[in-house]
Each structure stands twice: as C-alpha cells, then as structure tokens.
Structure 1
Amino acid sequence: MLPSVSTEDDSTDATLIVPVSVRDLLPRDLPACTWSGSATHLRHVERELTRAEAGEVDYLAVCTPADLPVAIGGIDYQASAQAGTLWQLAVFPALRSRGLGTLLVRAAEQRIRNRGLRRAELAVEENNPRARDLYERLGYAAYGREPDAWDEEGPDGAIRRHETMCVLMRRDL
C-alpha cells in the first residue's frame, strides 16, 4: 500500500492505493461475501461454483492483498451460443465507484475471449441506472428488454418473489 496523506487545514483525510487481483471465486470465499446478497443468494452462488468445476461458467473475484473478495461476478457460457453472459455482478458497497466493477467486467471479457467468443451480454435492472451507466461507459449497448424474477430471502427469513424488468445489453469484443 502506498499512502497519500493530505494535511491541508489539519485534515485527517487520506488516500490509500491498494493493489487488487482477479481470480476464480472459490467455495471457501463465500463466508466473506455476505455483503453481496442474502443467504439464499449465496447458496445460489455456491451451486454456480459446481457449474464452474464443469466448465459451464466462470465465477470471478476481485480480491484485496489479504485475499478477501471485494467484487464478484459470473460468466455463463450456456445462456447464449455466441456470447458469454455476465451475471450476478456485485461490488462491496463501500468500494463502489473505485474502478472495481470496471476491472471485474474487463477480466470477464478476457475470459470470454479466451473461450473463442467475441461478444459479451448482460441484463441490468431498469431501476439500476448507476450500473447501466457503467456498462454504457464500457461500450455496452441496449438491444432489448425482458422481465426477470427470482426468490429473495428477507431480513425476517421469509422468501419473497422479486420481479423486475431488465434492459438487455451487449458488446462486441
């Protein structure tokens, strides 16, 4: 880490530069990923990791020097015959807008290229303009809309159905 400390007006603000790396998400990482969603979501991620072992998906983690995941996301190679489909992208809330999402998407795109595919696709909820803005900055263009739904576990442990409308986006690699 290379600290940069500002002392103007006796300020105690500091900027820290911390190197991160991208690797495969592993089952042992899941207890450190509770920030990414509910227990139901993490059980789903755990199931997806078995698909990763079979080569059907890649699931990536952006990690700190302490090897803790601060951004995670998957690439499904079976959702579309001609593309890798990015899904379940998440960045630790306190570290959003720091470039971790960009790093995660670019690493995912490289994995897609390594599979011989030349297009990346994703769906973003219409009520998530911040994520959509990121994808547009990275060169993704909207090409359609479709509804999506999944079960979520609430704070009380009750399972609720989440229904939403998504914008479909893609980028040629």
Structure 2
Amino acid sequence: MLRCVKTEDDPAHAAVTLPVGVRDLLPQDLPACTWAGSDTHLRHVERELARAAAGEVDYLAVCTPADLPVAIGGIDYQVSEGAGTLWQLAVMPALQSCGLGTLLVRAAEQRIRDRGLRRVALAVEEDNPRARALYERLGYAAYGREPDAWDEEGPDGSIRRHETMCVLMRKNL
C-alpha cells in the first residue's frame, strides 16, 4: 500500500493512499519509465530484460493499480558468487519518501532468498545520502568504496561520461 502524505498548508495538496504491487518489469513497461532515466539508460534496461529471460537477473517493478511502474530495480546474480547484487534502483521523483524504495528493496531481498542465496550487495553513489540512509535503515553496512562510470545521454542527444565514487554495502539475509 502506498501512502504518501506530502501536504502543505494548501488545500490543493492532499494525502493519497493507493495499493501497489511488485512484479517483473516487462519490455512494454519501458515507455512508462521515462522518469527513471535517459533514452540511453532505458535502452540499457531493455538489454537487461533479455538477461532476465535467461535467469541471470531479475528486474522488478512496483506498480500502481493502473499497472504503471513507479519504482524499478534490478538484481544481478552474476556479479558476486553466492549473492544477489541490487542495481539501477529508482523511484519516480514525485513519489520518493513514500515507502516505495523500501518495498522494492524488500521484494528484491525476497527474490534473492527464493534463489537460496543469503547475501545481498549494492553500490550507492557517495553523493546520494538519502539512498544510503535508506539502505542503512534496512540493515546494510558499508564495507568499501570503488569508482563507477557510465555514459549518459544529454538533453541535446550528446553522450557524456559520468564518473562517480560509490560506497559498497552488503547485508546478510
């Protein structure tokens, strides 16, 4: 259940409660996921869905009653032996801090358990303290740092390299 209370002293703002569910992300969902990243990113997600069909990854979607994804994220089973690695977790910006990230991570942890694995890992950018706070609240502990990089498409269609430092986190399930 999604309950998002972002009210202000303004009658135009109200609390909303909606049931949500978690399911596999499907290729036909991608046009509704433009909030999650650039066209380049969504093409990458589409390639990862082919890996999901092969059982190498799971890619999950938290969906509204209209079956629209409002949070998505992947679990890669090929990165670390004996563990599932969470990656590309995203929540629709307007719905952040409403519990969707927690629901997504817990559903991912259950998928990992269902495969008989007892460890989960992830990397979070150092300049994303909100995400790191969520993971710490859910029991993840930092154990190291490593750089990461990827190509991003700009609004003008140009491609630029994004480089960042990530905190490595893990949790025993």
Report if TM-score (shorter chain) is over 0.5. Answer: yes
The SS at the match of 1:52 is: helix
Amino acid at match of 1:95: L
Query: Which residue in 1 is equivalent to 2:114?
Result: 114
Mapped pair 1:57 → 2:67: no
Task: Output the CA distance in 2 between the equivalents of 1:15 and 1:77.
Answer: 38
The letter for the 1-side match of 2:121 is E
For structure 2, the 5+ residue unaligned runs are 4-8
SS state at 2:147 partner: strand
Structure 1 residues 69-84: aligned runs within 5 Å: 69-84=69-84
DSSP-derived class of the 1:14 partner: coil
Cα offset, 1:12, TM superposition: 4.8
1:42-79 C-alpha deviation (Å, 9 max, x unpaired): 00000000000000000000000000000000000000
Cα distance in structure 1, aligned partners of 2:59 and 2:11 = 41
Deviation, 1:104, is: 0.1
Question: TM (normalized to structure 2)?
Answer: 0.93
Moved over 2 A (4+): 9-14
Mark the structure with the bigger radius of gyration.
Answer: 1
SS at match of 1:131: helix
Residues 164 and 20 (structure 1), Cα distance of their counterparts in 2 relative to 1, 3 Å cut: same
Change (3 A) 1:10 1:162: closer
Residue in structure 1 matched with residue 98 of structure 2 by the alignment:
98
Offset at residue 16 of structure 1 (A):
1.6
CA RMSD of aligned residues (A): 1.6
Matches within 5 A, 1:19-168: 19-168=19-168
In structure 2, distance between residues paired with 1:142 and 1:61 = 26
Task: Output the TM-score relative to the length of structure 1.
Answer: 0.93
**Aligned AA (1:120):** V
Q: Deviations over 1:72-103 (max 9, x none)?
A: 00000000011100000000000000000000
Aligned length: 167
